[in-house]
Structure 1
Amino acid sequence: MRKLVYGMNLSLDGYIAAPGDDIGWGVPSDELFQWWLDQERAIGLLLYGRKLWKNMRSHWPTGDQQPGATPAQIEFARNWRDTPKVVFSSTIDTVDWNTRLVDGDAISEITRLKAEDGGPMRVGGATLAGAAMRAGLIDEYEVVTHPVLVGGGTPFFTALDSWVNLNLVETRTFPGGVVLNRYEVRR
């Protein structure tokens, strides 16, 4: 059975994007970017909602060709292109870059994918991850908190029907006061 990971950069008040989908406050240091790259290399399948897919495909297909791209950014772009992806959307017609589109029931498909053999999967996008959270499908949370309060926007966590007990498995501090807390779901 595959593991499902949900992790993103978030503000101290719990948002992955400020109002207007502004993520400018979450620019990672080189050390944090390298950590994200290392995590992504271990992922066997990326699961995206529509908004995050549009964000990722607007930059990473050619991210390694951007002026001033660091070695980690070059490798991230290459890894992103090569990693299989599934996009869940009923409004997108086509996808590219090693990606499959699913316009049906996301929870059924994620459940099916989890039952397969293979490397860990990462779910991204607040709406999709929220649905996976409520369905009890997430096995690990990577909470990368930046020292900024944005006052609103898109929350990292969604409303849940019941408590989810977690075990802290890693804590790490990055430059600029960014703190990683990684949790596994206690089953």
Structure 2
Amino acid sequence: MKLSVFCGVSVDGFLARPDHSLDFLETGEQEPHGFEEFYNSVDVVVIGRKTFDVVLTFGEWPYGKKQVVVLSSNPLNFSSIKNGVVEQMSGEPSEVVTQLKARNFKHAYTDGGITIQRFLSSGMIDRMIVTRVPILIGTGIPLFGPIPHDITLRHLATRTFKGGLVQSEYELSANQ
């Protein structure tokens, strides 16, 4: 099973503002930058509870019929989700991956600050696509946090877009 991250961050490395808002990610007119193709390549989305709470404020469920797994050790209420396929799991990243593999999922989109950090620290992430938005916000929820050891990245590509986005793709070394 492959686990990937596809995220946007401010140039100073924040996924969201301290209040979890994402308004800065949409700076002016941005051309397509590969998210739709990436999203079509995954068969399950793994997010944390805080990300789930933010997604609920969007109004419409953004994941369509794609299987979504929300990580939380506390009970969650999914009653407001219409036409979505969502469930709850808990446990260490390796336990979550084992459960997903047992259900024959092949490619997971891993999203949310703490979730990305936990899966990176446990060596579960295989690929990262990070799109830097041309803005500094000074404070917020960082993409990266403390890690127990160095994580070696192999640079695959960097693309720039007319709107100022800079996107870098990395493969993470196995056996970390």
Shorter-chain TM band: 0.7 to 0.9
Three-state SS of the structure 1 residue aligned to 2:154 is: strand
2:72 pairs, out of 84, 89, 111, with 89
CA distance in 1, matches of 2:75, 2:164: 38
Residues 178 and 112 of structure 1, relative CA distance in 2, 3 Å threshold: same
CA distance in 2, matches of 1:47, 1:113: 12
**Structure 1 segment 41-80 matched on structure 2, within 5 A:** 41-59=40-58, 61=60, 77=62, 80=63
**Structure 1 segment 153-164 matched on structure 2, within 5 A:** 153-164=140-151
Deviations 1:98-132 (A, max 9, x none): 01112x31424323146444331011111111111
Contact 2:94 2:124 in 1 (8 A): no
- Partner in structure 2 of residue 172 of structure 1: 159
CA distance in 1, matches of 2:49, 2:123: 21
Unaligned runs of 5+ in 2: none
Unaligned runs of 5+ in 1: 63-76
Q: What is the root-mean-square deviation in Å for CA atoms of aligned residues?
A: 2.0
Deviation, structure 1 residue 138? 0.5
Structure 2 counterpart of 1:173, one-letter code: T
**What TM-score do you get using the length of structure 2 for normalisation?**
0.85
Contact 2:117 2:144 in 1 (8 A): yes
Contact 1:166 1:185 in 2 (8 A): yes
Sequence identity, in percent?
Answer: 23
Contact 1:42 1:119 in 2 (8 A): no
Worse-matched range after superposition: 170-179 or 40-49: 170-179
**What TM-score do you get using the length of structure 1 for normalisation?**
0.81
- Partner in structure 2 of residue 13 of structure 1: 12
Pairs aligned (count): 168
